[in-house]
Amino acid sequence: MAELLKQLTETAGVSGDEGRVRKLITERISPLVDNVQTDRMGNLIAYKKGKKSDKKIMLCAHMDEIGLIVTGIQEEGMLKFKTIGGIDPRILVSKRVLVGEKGCPGVLGIKAIHLQEVEERQSAVKVKQMYIDIGAASREEAAQAVSLGDYAVFDSRYIEFGENKVKAKALDDRAGCAILVELMKQEYDYDIYACFSVQEEVGLRGAEVLGYGLNPDIAIVVEGTTCSDVPDVDQHQYTTEMGKGPAITIMDGSSYANKELVEMLVKTAYREGISFQFKKGTTGGNDAGRLHLAREGIKTATVSVPCRYIHSPASVMDLDDYSNTIRLLSCFLKGCEL
């Protein structure tokens, strides 16, 4: 399981540029399912025929990650950029990135502290103050390596450390993608559509197309979500806690989870002795925000893996939470009655 997770998190796939992630998933999931196709939006849909085949279940995880896009090349060879998805500018300074299809190495820089005015040192750095340094000495030299519109992704490796923890970029939501592939190794009564959506980080765009096109009986979104059990955060403000198992959503900023599905997930967890938690925060959203509104409405729920420091080059996840999410969803899919 960890090998696939490593491959997925180390693959570049900023929103709008998910092709390499899609190719990798296609290679891994094709032997496990009956059909694989890509829609016009770029979503990947893997179909596995069920034993009954009278109902269809959608599982959805998004392939894209947050990142940067090159918007200008300066005379000195530095690259100006905009962020794609929700990124805190404070995490960007001095981070390594890979730019464009060829992965041109670069570093995010700002004016040295020795040259900053007092007021500049006392305020958070803004994106417009930063640039990507790819080692070019001129606009012409930089233009030979990168182009306007090129995407930049964090240069970050998958590392296992501590007590069953992993560090990687893009655990939101390559963890979900890996879980869907693992789930397709088993057989189920109902038709399963394992869907890998595009452009979630910029407006849940792929999910809207998926929901309309497939119109499933139910949809389960599998996400990597915020884990806030860190210093200087009061316990009553914890969204999720690492090591406490998969998080089941009741509501968030984009949707209410279907109560019937939530009850079924909870009963499954208790029946199988699987640790779980409810996601306590209600801010943010995920693909469920579009899926539950598709056509006449789709019964939708979300199960998430808690991840510290999401939307950064170094997210952290507990492998037991990851494994228990697979267990919960597998048991749910085998035991649910639609």
Instruction: List the catalytic residues.
Output: 200
* Centroid of chain to Cα 271: 29
User: Which amino acid is it at 296?
Assistant: E
Burial 95-111 (b: 16+ CB within 10 A, else e): bebbbbeeebebebbbe
256: which strand partners?
251
Q: Do residues 198 and 65 make contact, with C-beta atoms less than 8 angstroms apart?
A: no
Within 13 Å of residue 288, how many CA atoms lie on the same side as its CB? 27
- Positive or negative torsion for Cα 144, 150, 154, 158: negative
Within 13 Å of residue 67, how many CA atoms lie on the same side as its CB? 29
Radius of gyration of the chain (CA): 21
